[in-house]
Amino acid sequence: MTKARRDYLSELIQQIQWAGFDKPQVEYRFHPVRRFRFDAAWVDKKVALEYEGGVYLHGKAGQKSRHLIN
């Protein structure tokens, strides 16, 4: 995570806390084997936040992932 992205995420989390929400777990690893992480998560509430998540392209060149909306 770049410094600028980390700063924006920190500011967003601070604003969320000012709105009355609890502090989330940052960089929460939600699977024991896979390396994916949520940028922030409120595990007890089963809520996660992904700030500018990456785009995953699957398959051959030009073929879109089934998770992308056309």
Domain boundaries, the chain: 24-70
Q: Is the pLDDT score of 69 beyond 60?
A: no
The DSSP bridge pattern shows strands 25-29 and 47-49 to be unpaired
Closest CA to 13 of 46, 5, 30, 53: 5
Identify the DSSP state of 44. G
Position 5 confidence tier, pLDDT thresholds 50, 70, 90: confident
14-59 pLDDT, tens digit each: 999 999 999 999 989 988 888 888 889 999 999 999 887 666 555 5
pTM: 0.65
